Structures are given as structure tokens and as C-alpha cells.
A and B are shown apart, each in its own frame.
Chain A
Amino acid sequence: MKVEHSAQPGFNRRNFIGASSVAAAYALLGGIELVPGQEPEKPADEKPAVPKVKCGVIGLGSWGRELVATLQRVPQAELVAICDTYAAALRRASRLAPGATAIQNYRELLAAPELDAVLVATPTHLHKEIVLAALEAGKHVYCEAPLAHTVEDAREIARAARAAYKQIFQAGLQYRSDNQRLYVQRNIRSGELGSFVMVRAQWHKKQSWRAASPNPEREKELNWRLDKAVSPGLVGEIGIHQLDQVCWFLNRLPLRVHGYGAIAAWADGREVADTVQLVVEFPGQVRLLYDATLGSSFDAEQEVYFGTNATVVMRGSRAWLFKEPDSPLAGWEVYAKKELFVPSSETGIVIAADSSKQLLHVAPGQQPITPEKTPLHQALEAFVGNCAEFRAEVHDFTEAYGQTDRATFEQHMAANFKARPAAGYREGFIATLIALKANEAVVTGQPVELRPEWFELG
């Protein structure tokens, strides 16, 4: 799951194009931008209220290294171990985390009693064995999305996470922890858009997905995304985040998915489509039109939610609201920042918590407030923070009341443990199921009915 590639947004070419030129274009169109309010951060060197969470990262490919780099910016986390079967990957990650112990066998890592949590970023089809062993070893687990390459494996992981009720399990659906998307989600759920008309989403990025390797065995291991037998495809690996976001914002589960795939750009003998289109049907005759390609970078990534009163456009970390002339006035948008969008010369309202108040502090011509942290950063902060507080709550609960039955424990936690927003095992399983079934539709060219009972964990 590899949507972001830099922890410093705005400093690489793609982000620059995505964030500045498109934003400027939307600005000229006149969108109202949706931006969440931000609270002052506690300095990183300040002593945390609860002890640090000792973490280990398993799987050190490009995304695993992103986790390693990001974890080290989370003050509450202490990265104590990194693990990969491939020595070169281990050496490369060690340079990012010189203080962490480098281990090749994940079982050795899980055996360390001082380790509190593991983050699993191995190839998707290797998640299950590691995640089940980690939960068995009593560790908190962050498992990348999709949870697995088959629905059965994903269900098994989710069930094991449900059974381990004294541990935190977080699925790597980082948008679920993103302050910006949480704000837009509330905004959309408030009914601001009127009735949903339709949704469009896209992910365009020119890249081959094929990595070079010194030997054929390693090449096969490295290019698992291109291996038809285990790859969840472009929809499973990338589309899962946008599909999950659409289901989350609409608050509906899909009924049916139609898929189309093509090898349009990289005819290098691969069997996994590099270009896909989906039509996802939701209750209420709402449909999502989705496309993703590795063949073109044009127009990058965005989601558009069309409603009878207004439309929301999301591009990366920014969002704008476009109101219909006949829509009722909510009030806040009168004072909100507005940007003119070309080519249709429409006025967009910046969607931001307290945006009308923030406007008072933003001088004309000043850059709008953009989130400083990537969704991944926020997701890892949520994971580590939840691990630390959950552990402290379990400790205090047990000290006060001793060992109790599960129902009493869960009742206490429901009332007293306020988790930071994050995708749990249920969200992870449902997103994986939808993405894998969508990929099945792409691979087979046949529509797939999503039966309601499939969403149950059993």
C-alpha cells in the first residue's frame, strides 16, 4: 500500500504538481477549500505521559522503509528492531534506523519480550503467517492494507485480531486517521451535499511496478505485485484506499462491482493489468466510477463526490466544496476561504474546521493552511498512541479490579479508552474484501455480486 512516497509532502515533483498547480487551478475555479483546524503540537522532546512503545518493523521494501522513517518522527515510538529476510534490504533500512537491531527471522523478533508492537509491511501474501504469530506472541499489530491476498486469509487475520482483545490491531488504511479526511467525512455525513448523485475517483501514476534485481529468484520475490498468483492487482494494492474512503464517506457497502483491466503501457510479459476501470454499485443507485493506471501521470489522484446541493473534490490533502446555486446556505461557507477554479470558472469553498475563524488570521495572498503530517504519519501516531494508552488503561484496570471476564473488560474499555481514529480489524477486513472482489472483477471481466453475508466475520 503504497500511495505516498515521501514523508515531506510538497517536495517532490509529483506532489509539487499535485499540490500546487492543481490547487491553483482549482483555486481559479473558485472552490471552497475544506481544511481541518490544527491544534498546537507538544514539543517532541517533552516527556510523554506514558512510557514509549517499543516497535519492530517486519518487511523493509520501499513502503517498509517509509514506515521506519516515519516511526522515528513519532515521539511516543521507539524503533527497537527491524526485520527482513533479504540482507540487502536490511542493510538499507539499518541506515535509516541505526539504533534498531537488524534481524532476518521474524520469529526471533517476536520472541523479544520487551517488544510491544510490530508493523507488518511484507508482501501482502506473507502477512497472515506473521500477523497470526505476532498476535499469538501478545504484540500489538499494525498490518498493511490489504490485509491479505485472499478473502479467507483476511478473515482469519481479522478473527485472530478480534480474539486478541487485550491488544491493538490497526489496518494500514491510513486515510482513516487523516485529520483532513476525518473532517471532510464529517462534513459529507452532515448532509451538506444533499442526496448523493455519483462518485468519481482516480489514481494515475506512470511507473512500471517492476523492480530490478541481481538474481532471478530475488526478482520473483521482489516483483510479487506482478505475479498473478499472489498479486491483489492495482485495485487491491492502490485502489483499496480510495474504495475504502468512498464506502466510509457514503456510509454504504457496495452491492456489485464491474471491472475492466488492460495491459496498456507495460507489455513486458506481465499478466497483471496496469490499467483498470471499475463501476461500483452502491445502494440508492449511487455508483462509483474508478480508474487507475500505471501508464499515465496526468491528473494524478482525486475523488469527486457529486451531490444535489454541492460537490466535494478531494485531491491529496486538500478538499473543496462547490455549491449549487439553488442549495440552502449553511452559514459557515459565507466566511470561508474561496478559490476560483478554471476552466469552468466555478467558485469552490475551502472545507476547513473553523475555516471562517482561520480566515481572520490568514492575510490576503498567504498560503492556505495545509496539514503538516502525511496520512501515514497520522496513522502511525494513532497506532502508537493507542498502544500506549490502551496498555496503560489495561494496567490501571487490572491493578484496580484484577482479572475480569471479557465482557466486563470491554465494557470498561468502551467507556474509558478513547482511541484515536484508526482502521481496526473490521474496517481492514471489509476494505480488503471489497478490493479483492473488485480485482476479481478486473481479472475475470465478470461482475461480482457482493453478498451481505460476506462482510460478516462469523
Chain B
Amino acid sequence: MRTNAHGWPCTLTWSEAVALAVWLVMVPAPVLAQDSAVKLVRYNSQPGSLVQIDGTSNIHDWTVKGGVIRGFIEADEDFPASVAAPGARAPRVEVTIPVRTLKSQVAVGAKKMDEVMQEHMKMAQWPNIEYRLIELVPKAVSPGAGTAFQFDAVGALTVAGVTRTNRMPVTIERLDQTRLKVTGTTNLKMTEFGITPPSPTLSLGLIRTGDDVTVRVEWIVARAQGQESGAPAN
């Protein structure tokens, strides 16, 4: 087997590759659509999604919740089963969480806590938390049920303008014919993203928050309209 400059297996010469590229550009879209290799399905975010951040402080533990997860998964027809197979290509996943939507869950003084958090996350400059999937690594053991698949998601996570590579165990399960649920939990340190743990003076006195937080995501996505099972993908 020949290999290319990156050491990947390659069966085409340079001129063959150019010819193929020209053919791909020239060939009409319907012909491509018949090729299962490029048949992608887009799953869009659905209401009911949840992001939850749990942290600590010298007074009590705290929780912040948000219900807005913007983004999509672009994957082949058989996702997520297809990714569990060896050598499969990672789907395209992009996620945006507006910082404004994250709300403190305390009974009294929540607005103040939100203000403090937004300030420390530099919301005026960086209004969103961004995530882009780099690789989806199947876990060695798949669950018995057959509908839920476990992976390690490696992605680029940007918080307050600072991007770090994140490795997060995720479960992807098929809820029904059109919907998938992605669940993941990851531990982060505020300081890794240049965020100083807040220590506001509220009515309870000086509060010092801990550096470590746990982020839990429950993301529901559904096939885009017109992409119900059997319909051709865009």
C-alpha cells in the first residue's frame, strides 16, 4: 500500500487525486447524493436541552443552569453506531452556549450572583461558550441496550476567549427515529480559562468560590426538517 506525505494509506497518485477532485467538483449533486459515503444528516438543537455547572464555595455549594444549547451534529445516516466502528470519521459538531442564559439557582440573590458570574466570565467581550468536536473516541465497552453508545469526546472548548482541549466522556443515545440525546460531564478549572474564581461580598458576607467546577450537558438534537429517515440528505 502506498502512503501519502502524512503517512496515511493512499491508493491514488497525485494526478489521479487531481482528476478525482475535478470530477467531484464537476459532477452534479444528485449523483453525489446517491453515494452513501457523503450522505450526511444534520441534527439540530432541540428545546429541553440543559447545561448545569456545579461548584463550591466557603459558604455552600452552588449550581448554575441554562436551557439554551445552540448547535448541530452533522453525521452519517448510521450515527452514532457508525462512529463506534473502528476507523470511522468523527462527525462535525459545533455548540454555542450563551453565557447570559446560565442562571444561578439560589432562592434569594440569584440576579446578583448572575451578575458576578457574567463579569468574571467577561461576558461583555465573550458572550458565548464555544465547543467544536475534534474527535469522538469509542469506549472499549458498549452498553448492552444497543441504543446508547459511549465515547470520549475530544474537543476545543472556548470560555472567556480562552481555548483549551477538553476530553469528556459522553453517552449518545437514540431517543426515537429522529432524536438523539447527548449526555456528558466534565471537570474544569476556572483558572485554566483565565477566570479568577469570584469572591463577591453579598449579604451573606464574603463568599469565596472554589476553582473546580463540574459541567454537565444534556443535549437533545433532532434530524433537520425534511431529513426524516429515508429522505435524502443535503
Interface residues of A, Cβ cutoff 8 Å to B: 37-40, 42, 47, 49-50, 353-354, 385, 392-393, 396-397, 399-402, 404, 408-409, 411-412, 415-416, 418, 420
Contact = CB atoms under 8 A, between A and B. Distances in A.
Interface string B96-124: 00101101000011111001001000011
Given A47-B124, A408-B47, A416 B67 contact: yes
Contact of B103 (A385, A409, A416): A416
A411 B203 contact: no
A49 B123 contact: yes
B201 interface: yes
B66 interface: yes
A121 B166 CA distance: 55
B103 A354 contact: no
Interface in B102-160: 103, 108-112, 115, 118, 123-124
Given A354-B203, A396-B98, 8 more contacts: A42-B115, A49-B100, A50-B100, A399-B68, A400-B68, A415-B67, A416-B65, A418-B110
B70 interface: yes
The 3 residue pairs across chains A and B that have the minimum distance between CB atoms:
A400-B70, A416-B67, A396-B68
A446 to B, nearest CB: 45
A34 B26 CA distance: 79
Contacts of B44: 401-402
B111 A397 contact: no
B203 A412 contact: no
Contacts of A385: 111
B124 A418 contact: no
13 contacts: A40-B202, A42-B115, A49-B115, A353-B203, A385-B111, A396-B98, A397-B47, A397-B67, A399-B70, A400-B49, A404-B47, A411-B48, A416-B67
B124 A400 contact: no
Interface string B76-113: 00000000000000000000001011010000111110
A397 B68 contact: yes
Interface in B182-234: 201-203
Interface of B: 44-49, 65-71, 98, 100-101, 103, 108-112, 115, 118, 123-124, 201-203
A398 to B, nearest CB: 10
Contacts of A416: 65-68, 101, 103
Contacts of A38: 203
Contact of A401 (B46, B108, B124): B46
Contacts of B65: 416
A283 to B, nearest CB: 29
A165 to B, nearest CB: 15
A189 to B, nearest CB: 14
Contacts, number: 63
A50 B101 CA distance: 11
A385 B114 CA distance: 14
A353 B202 CA distance: 13
Contacts of B115: 42, 49
B32 to A, nearest CB: 27
Contacts of B203: 37-39, 353-354
Residue from the set A49, A354, A415 with the largest chain B CB neighbour count within 10 Å: A49
A401 B47 contact: yes
Nearest to B100: A392
Residue from the set B69, B110, B115, B203 with the largest chain A CB neighbour count within 10 Å: B203
B146 to A, nearest CB: 29
B139 to A, nearest CB: 29
B93 to A, nearest CB: 15
Given A392-B100, A400-B45, A412-B47, A49 B70 contact: no
Nearest to B203: A37
B202 A39 contact: yes
A400 B110 contact: no
Contacts of A353: 108, 203
A49 B102 CA distance: 13
Contact of B67 (A37, A49, A412): A412
A418 B47 contact: no
Contacts of B48: 411-412
Residue from the set A39, A392, A418 with the largest chain B CB neighbour count within 10 Å: A39
A393 B101 contact: yes
Contact of B45 (A401, A409, A420): A401
Nearest to B104: A418
A411 B47 contact: yes
Given A401-B47, A418-B103, A39 B124 contact: no
